[in-house]
């Protein structure tokens, strides 16, 4: 498979200014050394509770936010080193579908103008050819061609998100970053939009970075899952492994907290106490040790590396190593 995106050691720090002179008093470590890759036709889901840095990762990859450190490779090109003029051509390769399908669309533009704008910006179509291309894109996402003359407020929430997807497809990108793309939609409409995204992925071989906090959505669309906590990835593996046998205590807690459709089903809850530490002043050692029920002395002083403990499954936890996992499997 072709690697579309590779991220190595990505960091994003936001300065905190205080006092009359607005001097920098510290930094919020929104993203703290994130690394992963995505192949063509693959969906990598970023999951975690609010404030863990998921959306910041998504925006930084597209350089809507400038990274503080690390490398971002789009195909064979390291986009972190590109200037604005050079970056323009590479923006065609990666597009974004935003969380709010209304505020992400210009209310003063008709649907046809919204979808045509990327084509005009890059000089890819004009006149009758542009109108034909826009009609084809709208049809591809399940909207009729006559929708070109309507304004965003005339569409339902699901239709507006389809319009946003059509705009993202206009430049034929290789990567689409979807930041909570169905969280503002009704459940029945969510399934339609998710199935549309999956069909488009099969047809065009798109790579998706899919940000979500909804594990039911993640289970439906993901090929691999990266679990984030306090700006770091603490576990990454395939959907099957994460849902069947999570290794990090934080992942276990996320899975245990997800609702079950069967009212008769019962499962053991892993209760996490306390609040998320401040990303401006994270705790030493493992960032999760202040809330982890299994924490030992080593967790409070030594930062666990993200390492592969079984093939295709990496985790950052002192209690989950190759040796401990092998012992569990043999017992």
More confident residue, 269 or 153: 153
State what percent of residues in the chain have pLDDT above 70: 96
Look at residue 326 and tell me whether its pLDDT is greater than 80.
no
Look at residue 1 and tell me whether its pLDDT is greater than 90.
no
Domains and CATH numbers, the chain: 3-108+151-330 (3.40.50.300)
DSSP letter string over 76-136? TEEGGG--HHHHHHHGGGEEEE-S-TTTTS-TTS-HHHHHHHHHHHTT---HHHHHHHHHH
Average pLDDT over every residue of 13-28: 91
- Cα–Cα dist 206/42, whole Å: 7
Sign of CA pseudo-dihedral 152, 157, 163, 164:
positive
Local confidence band at 327 (pLDDT 50, 70, 90 cut-offs): confident
- pLDDT single digits (tens) 118-143: 999 988 878 888 999 999 999 999 99
Look at residue 331 and tell me whether its pLDDT is greater than 70.
no
- pLDDT single digits (tens) 204-234: 999 999 999 889 899 999 999 999 999 999 9
Helix-helix angle 111-121:127-140, to 10 degrees: 120
Helix-helix angle 157-169:111-121, to 10 degrees: 20
Sheet holding 207-211, edge to edge: 94-97, 175-179, 207-211, 43-47, 224-229, 232-238, 313-315, 307-310
Q: pTM for this one?
A: 0.92
CA angle 90, 224, 298 (to 5 degrees): 110
Sign of CA pseudo-dihedral 149, 155, 160, 166:
negative
Query: Is residue 54 a contact partner of residue 211, using CB atoms and an 8 Å limit?
Result: yes
- Cα–Cα dist 47/173, whole Å: 24
Residue among 199, 148, 202, 210 at smallest CA distance from 176 = 210
- Cα–Cα dist 214/108, whole Å: 32
- Cα–Cα dist 111/142, whole Å: 13
More confident residue, 50 or 167: 167
């Amino acid at each position: 498979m072709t690697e579309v995106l590779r991220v190595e050691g990505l960091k994003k720090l936001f300065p905190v200014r205080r006092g009359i002179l607005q001097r920098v008093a510290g930094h919020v470590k929104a993203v703290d050394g994130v690394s992963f890759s995505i192949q063509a036709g693959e969906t990598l889901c970023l999951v975690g509770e609010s404030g863990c840095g998921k959306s910041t990762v998504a925006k930084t990859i597209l350089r809507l936010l400038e990274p503080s450190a690390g490398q971002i490779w789009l195909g064979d090109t390291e986009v972190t080193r590109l200037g604005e003029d050079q970056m323009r051509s590479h923006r065609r390769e990666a597009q974004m579908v935003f969380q709010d399908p209304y505020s992400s669309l210009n209310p003063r533009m008709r649907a046809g103008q919204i979808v045509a704008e990327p084509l005009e910006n890059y000089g890819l179509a004009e006149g009758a050819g542009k109108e034909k291309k826009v009609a084809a894109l709208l049809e591809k996402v399940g909207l009729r061609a006559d929708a070109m003359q309507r304004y965003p407020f005339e569409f339902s929430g699901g239709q507006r998100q389809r319009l946003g997807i059509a705009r993202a497809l206009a430049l034929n990108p290789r990567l689409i970053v979807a930041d909570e793309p169905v969280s503002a939609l009704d459940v029945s409409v969510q399934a339609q939009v998710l199935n549309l995204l999956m069909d488009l992925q099969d047809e065009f071989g798109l790579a998706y970075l899919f940000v979500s906090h909804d594990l039911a959505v993640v289970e439906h669309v993901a090929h691999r899952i990266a679990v984030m906590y306090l700006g770091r990835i603490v576990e990454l593996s395939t959907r099957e492994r994460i849902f069947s046998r999570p290794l990090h205590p934080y992942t276990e807690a996320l899975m245990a907290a997800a609702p079950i459709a069967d009212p008769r089903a019962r499962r053991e809850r892993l209760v996490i106490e306390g609040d998320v530490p401040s990303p401006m002043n994270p705790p030493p050692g493992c960032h999760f040790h202040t809330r982890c029920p299994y924490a030992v002395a080593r967790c409070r002083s030594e930062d666990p590396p993200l390492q592969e403990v079984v093939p295709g499954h990496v985790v950052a936890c002192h209690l989950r190593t190759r040796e401990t996992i092998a012992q569990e499997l043999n017992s």
